[in-house]
Structure 1
Amino acid sequence: MADSDWGDWLPRAVADADPDTVALWYLGCNGFAIKGSEGTVLWIDPYVGTGDPPRTVRMVPVPFDPADVDVADAVLATHEHTDHVHGPSQAPILANTDADFVAPDDSLAVAREEERWTEEWDVDEEAFLEVTEGDELRVGEFAVHVVETHDSDATHPVGYVIEHETGTVFHAGDSKPSESFPGLAQEFDVDLGILAFGSVGAVPDKETGEPVRTKWYSDENEIAKAANDLGLDRLVPTHWDMWKGLTADPTALHEHVRSFEHPNRLEVVEIGDRIEL
């Protein structure tokens, strides 16, 4: 993990904020900090690692040091990949706060068995909260629903529908269009949907180092379908900024979504940006 050259302004911005509704800060990759009007703070998939160069090379700044995060009620993980479950990025947040680590079984296996968070950091076993599709939990002012997604590259991915009295956010992790999305649109009125988007590129093979055609995220047409199936009011594309060879232009999505009923608005954010629900 590289040191952040942004200082502590981003964790301080989250801690000091007093939103009227719900504020979200984009952390790059697929990470968000979410703060409600009563002060509850969720961190979803925060990742400050640099990848595994030369195979995966981080293309955006490291925006904060997790040791500077002292306000958190829960850290949510969508699936087990390293840019979503990463001890150096997330365990210090748990150690500094009373936050739970909310994650499906395979993500918790990384934390418990592969990275041994309870041995390497001041993290208690009680901080681990296993969830699966259909679960609902209350974290402060937020109702968090664990829902089915579709990410064939992950072993057990989930998404989170986060309800607040002022609106609803859906974080789909790295999901591509899912058979579950039309049903979610019927069950929830999602105001803001967070969906991963990227290009197809050549990424070095883990063993041989030879470039391999790689597609990890939805392309333009897939993300447009997912947004429409979900009935989104606002679409926030993510992950397009992160990995060398897989970056993409999110402004191109205007041409792909404008003929569909949903989303009503495409909202492009850059790392460090704050948006309001």
Structure 2
Amino acid sequence: MTTSDWGDWLPRAIESADPDSVAVWYLGCNGFVLKGSEGTTLFVDPYVGTGDPPRTVRMIPVPFDPADVTDADAVFATHEHSDHVHGESQAPILETTGAPFVAPDASIAAAREAQSWEDRWALDDGQFQEVAEGDVLEVGEFTVHVVEVNDPDAEHPVGYVFEHESGTVFHPGDSRPADSFGRLGREFDIDLGIVAFGSAGMIPDKETREPTYTKWYNDEGEAVEAASALRVDRLLPTHWDMWKGLTADPTALHEHVDSFEHPRSLELVEIGDRVDI
């Protein structure tokens, strides 16, 4: 487990925040915290690992120690990849707060079988909450819809639409454009849409360690295609900051979104930044 580069200021800032609507903090990679006006606090894909050097090398600070998190109503995972389901990043939050781990079946299996969270941390069986597309959850002041996405690299990915009286946030994990996005754009009024964005690169293969052409995230055209289909008001690109060899420049998206009705604006954030709905 790595030590936070920033001490505990980010968890304390989130804990003490009193938003009028919904505050959203970017944790780097594809991690977020959502906090509503009544105090409900949701973590989505928080990750503070350093990857698997030299295959995947973290390029950004470790912004918090999970043991410093004292307030969480749920931790959501979008899919089973190790930067989305990671015991050292997520299990201490569950252990301290008693929050449920909400995830699809492959992610639950990664946590309980592959990573043996229950053997390493004091967690209850009831904290593992398996979900699937079509499920609707009430978590404090949020209504959470589990929806279909398109991540060809994942075994079973899902996305989450977080509805709040102040607005709606959509987190599709590492999804590329999906057939479901047009329907979701008509069904939900998405204020803030999160889209994984990055470049392609020669990354060592997981088994052979030979450099292999790798593309895990949306390029500029795909990011805007997804945002346009979803009819998002604000597009927030993620993941571009994380892995050596796959980083990208999110400012390049300005030219790509100019001729589209959606997104109406581009929300560029760095690790630790807060935006409000």
TM (normalized to structure 1)?
A: 0.99
Task: Determine the structure 2 residue equivalent to 1:54.
Answer: 54
Task: Determine the structure 2 residue equivalent to 1:27.
Answer: 27
SS of 1:173 mapped into structure 2:
coil
Task: Determine the structure 2 residue equivalent to 1:66.
Answer: 66
Identity within the alignment, %: 71
Task: Determine the structure 1 residue equivalent to 2:126.
Answer: 126
Deviation at 1:11, TM superposition (A): 0.5
Deviation at 1:5, TM superposition (A): 1.7
What amino acid sits opposite 1:64 in the alignment? Answer: F
Task: Determine the structure 1 residue equivalent to 2:236.
Answer: 236
Deviation at 1:205, TM superposition (A): 1.0
Distance in 1, Cα, partners of 2:213 & 2:9: 38
CA-to-aligned-CA distance 1:163-190 (integer Å, 9 cap, x gap): 0000000001000000000000111000
What amino acid sits opposite 1:150 in the alignment? Answer: N
Alignment of 1:96-175 (within 5 A): 96-175=96-175
Deviation at 1:69, TM superposition (A): 0.3
Distance in 2, Cα, partners of 1:189 & 1:207: 43
What amino acid sits opposite 2:22 in the alignment? Answer: V
Deviation at 1:208, TM superposition (A): 2.1
SS of 2:190 mapped into structure 1:
coil
Task: Determine the structure 1 residue equivalent to 2:189.
Answer: 189
CA-to-aligned-CA distance 1:204-241 (integer Å, 9 cap, x gap): 11222211110000000000100000000000000000
Distance in 2, Cα, partners of 1:207 & 1:94: 32
What amino acid sits opposite 2:124 in the alignment? Answer: D
* 1:93 counterpart = 2:93: yes
CA-to-aligned-CA distance 1:121-169 (integer Å, 9 cap, x gap): 0111110000000000000000000000000000000000000000000
SS of 2:261 mapped into structure 1:
coil
Distance in 1, Cα, partners of 2:207 & 2:87: 24
* 1:212 counterpart = 2:228: no
SS of 2:28 mapped into structure 1:
coil
Distance in 1, Cα, partners of 2:85 & 2:247: 21
Deviation at 1:250, TM superposition (A): 0.2
Q: How many residues align?
A: 277
What amino acid sits opposite 1:162 in the alignment? Answer: F
Deviation at 1:98, TM superposition (A): 2.2
Distance in 1, Cα, partners of 2:158 & 2:254: 27
Task: Determine the structure 1 residue equivalent to 2:176.
Answer: 176
* 1:11 counterpart = 2:11: yes
Displaced runs of 4+ in structure 1, greater than 4 A? none
Task: Determine the structure 2 residue equivalent to 1:38.
Answer: 38
What is the CA RMSD across the aligned residues, in angstroms? Answer: 0.5
Task: Determine the structure 1 residue equivalent to 2:2.
Answer: 2
Deviation at 1:193, TM superposition (A): 0.3
> Where does structure 1 lack aligned partners over 5 or more consecutive residues?
none
SS of 1:183 mapped into structure 2:
helix
Distance in 2, Cα, partners of 1:19 & 1:47: 24
What amino acid sits opposite 1:48 in the alignment? Answer: V
* 1:269 counterpart = 2:269: yes
Distance in 2, Cα, partners of 1:52 & 1:139: 34
SS of 2:256 mapped into structure 1:
helix
